Amino acid sequence: MACKNISPCIFIVCSVVVSVLSAEPSLEAEIEALKAFKNAITQDPLGALANWTDASHRCNWSGVTCDPSSNLVVSISLVDKQLRGQISPFLGNLSALQVLDLTLNSFTGHIPPQLGLCSQLTDLTLYENSLSGPIPAELGNLQNLHSVDLGDNSLNGSIPESICNCTSLQALDLSVNNLYGAIPKEIGNLSNLEYLQLFGNSLVGEIPPELGRCKNLAHLELYSNQLSGAIPSELGDLVYLETLRLYQNRLNSTIPLSLFKLTSLTHLGLSENQLTGIVPPEIGSLRSMQLHNLTKLSLGPNQMSGEVPDDLYNCSNLESLSLGENNFSGLLKPGIGKLYNLRTFKAGFNSFTGPIPPEIGNLSQLITLSLSGNRFSGLIPPTLSKLSSIQGLAFQSNALEGAIPKNISELKHLTVLMLGLNRLTGPIPDSVSKLEMLSYLDLHSNMLNGSIPTSMGALNRLMSLDISHNHLTGSIPGSMVSSMKRVIPETLGGCRNLFSLDLSGNKLSGLIPATPFSQLSVLMSMNLSRNELDGQIPESLADLKHLTTLDLSQNQLKGKVPDSFANLSSLKQLNLSFNQLEDQVPETGIFKNINASSLIGNPGLCGSKSLRPCSKSSHSLSKKTLWILISLGLVFTLLILVVVISLLLQCARKSKAELIENANQNSLQH
């Protein structure tokens, strides 16, 4: 009865007092936890915690958010503040904490298990720090967790099964760590999961079929691990799946047909595994519109075989298609021309045969086209000139024949052109010189003839040139070489000069240009071997301070090996064999331990450990000096002969005059 007489106002006052008294311990614990967090920071170069001073105003501290009704801290967000130190375990006393985001800092040490006491925590983001140790099993106590991002750290150990108790999880990112062991099958309990990113670890075992129970999964990223076994067919039950990336593992099954029911799929990455079998025709069936939304398909390298089905070309939204490094065979069908949105097409290192379909010229958005290492034959289709956006074109190691199309000059954005190891004939067309963006040009091992066009001097962005093993004749155009010293675009790493030059295996003649080559200041590799070059080796080649490989073998070079080559500290490989070089070889630098095979075939060379010893005269006098001395001796001898003959002639004249005078005197007397 007494209770009934208590005034409502008194009841409210009592309730407030009780609430305040019960809140005081939480507030004190919260203040101590925040102070402990700050004290664990060893470096704060941006002053992010500079205003963490007055505890009564903690809700105004940078990165701190409080609940307006309880005044308790609900969020700590200190993203990209360059903080160093360890995460204080006292954060576990923040009973109202909902968000902890320390992304892009340099925190070290372990993730404190005490975070498992933050029962209200919904978002835990510690991405891109330097945290180590295991993932605390205590995180499995956090039933309200929606998002966990621990990616890009150095965490180790296995994925704790307890994390699968967090059934409210929508996003789990443990990528780019050092995690090992199997993916727990309990992960199938996370029915609300939409994002699962475990890539970049060392996880082993099979992909758990239980993942098929995660019905809301939209993004599954398990690539760059050591997962093995089959791709579970249960993944075909994930009807909302948009991204499936399983590449760079050890998966060794066929592709389950169930995957081709995933009509929401936009990215399918299965490359760099050991997958077998064929590409199922169901992949692009128009009848069921399978994978019609697919924009990226990566199937190579694997061990897949058979022909590429025509239905694949119904996936008209494809932007990237990679079939490379498999065992696909047969023809590349004209249907490829229907993939109008394709920007990257890689089908290299398979067993495709027949001609390159001219319909490939319809792919006007194509940036990269690689068909290398197949058995394509016939001509290079002239329709390639319609690929106005193309930057990389790789057709090497096929059986293509005929001439390089003259209209190749229309590919204004081309930076890489690789046509080596084919059966191309005819001259290098001048139109190649109009590819102003060209940085890599490989025409080696064809049957190209004629001379190197002097117009190639316009290729002032060229970084690597290989036209070796053809039937080219004439001399090396100095203008071409000198032009290569100009600026290369910043998009290619800020390189300023040609770094690789291979003209070997042709019939080039004449002198090695001295001045132009010396201007290629970052040249690292030069091969002029197996030509008909003559004259002396230019001393100016010693100005190439970054040169690591120089091959001048099998030419007709004469004279002395430049002493300045001994000063090329970067030079690791030098081949001067089978020329007509002579005189003493330098004794220092690369010559100190040079292999005999690098100098063989030069009978006139001496002085190296692998060569005959030099005679004293060759030690003391150079050939030029000897010629000068011999010439001076001859001149001196001739001068003496002239003087002697002059004296003899004078004596003869004097004797003759005396005889005439005596005869005249005798006649007068008679």
Catalogue all structural domains in the chain, each as residue range(s) with its CATH number: 280-387 (3.80.10.10), 403-616 (3.80.10.10)
| Residue 489 token pair | 């675009």
| Residue 650 token pair | 């004078």
Sheet containing 132-133: order of strands: 132-133, 154-157, 178-182, 202-204
Mean pLDDT score, 179-208 = 98
Q: How far is CA 644 from the centre of its chain?
A: 80
Range with the lowest mean pLDDT among 26-40, 143-157, 392-406, 627-641?
627-641
Q: Which residues does residue 267 pair with via DSSP β-bridges, in sequence order?
A: 243, 296
* SS3 per residue for 310-338: HHHHHCCCCCEEECCCCEEEEECCHHHHH
317 φψ region: left (φ > 0), alpha (ψ -120 to 50), beta (else): alpha
> Is the pLDDT score of 20 beyond 80?
no
* Nearest one of 219, 222, 218 to 231, comparing CA atoms: 222
Tens of pLDDT, residue by residue over 371-384, are: 999 999 999 999 99
> Is the pLDDT score of 270 beyond 60?
yes
- Contact, 528 vs 555, CB < 8 A? yes
* Measured distance CA(576)–CA(511) in Å, rounded: 15
* Measured distance CA(64)–CA(55) in Å, rounded: 12
pTM over 0.85: no
> Is the pLDDT score of 618 beyond 50?
no
Q: Which residues does residue 344 pair with via DSSP β-bridges, in sequence order?
A: 320, 368
pLDDT grade for 632, boundaries at 50, 70 and 90: confident
* Measured distance CA(382)–CA(458) in Å, rounded: 23
* Nearest one of 463, 461, 542, 466 to 504, comparing CA atoms: 466
Tens of pLDDT, residue by residue over 273-296, are: 999 999 988 786 644 556 789 999
Q: Give the Å distances, CA to CA, from 69 to 56, 59, 74, 96.
A: 15, 12, 11, 12
Length of the chain: 670
> Is the pLDDT score of 648 beyond 50?
yes
24: phi then psi, degrees, rounded to nearest 5 = -55, -45
- Which amino acid appears at position 217 of this protein? L
> Is the pLDDT score of 483 beyond 80?
no
* Nearest one of 140, 143, 191, 142 to 170, comparing CA atoms: 191
Report the pLDDT value the prediction gives residue 623, as an integer from 0 to 100: 54
Report the pLDDT value the prediction gives residue 291, as an integer from 0 to 100: 78
The counts of H helices and E strands in the chain are 5, 44
Report the pLDDT value the prediction gives residue 341, as an integer from 0 to 100: 97
H/E element, 38:
helix 8-39
Tens of pLDDT, residue by residue over 161-185, are: 999 999 999 999 999 999 999 999 9
> Is the pLDDT score of 369 beyond 80?
yes
Report the pLDDT value the prediction gives residue 357, as an integer from 0 to 100: 97
Report the pLDDT value the prediction gives residue 609, as an integer from 0 to 100: 76
Residue 564's Cβ-count burial label (10 Å; 0-12, 13-18, 19+) is middle
Is the bond leading into 301 cis (omega within 30 degrees of zero)?
A: yes
Q: How many CB atoms lie within 10 A of CB 493?
A: 8
- Contact, 267 vs 296, CB < 8 A? yes
Q: How far is CA 442 from the centre of its chain?
A: 18
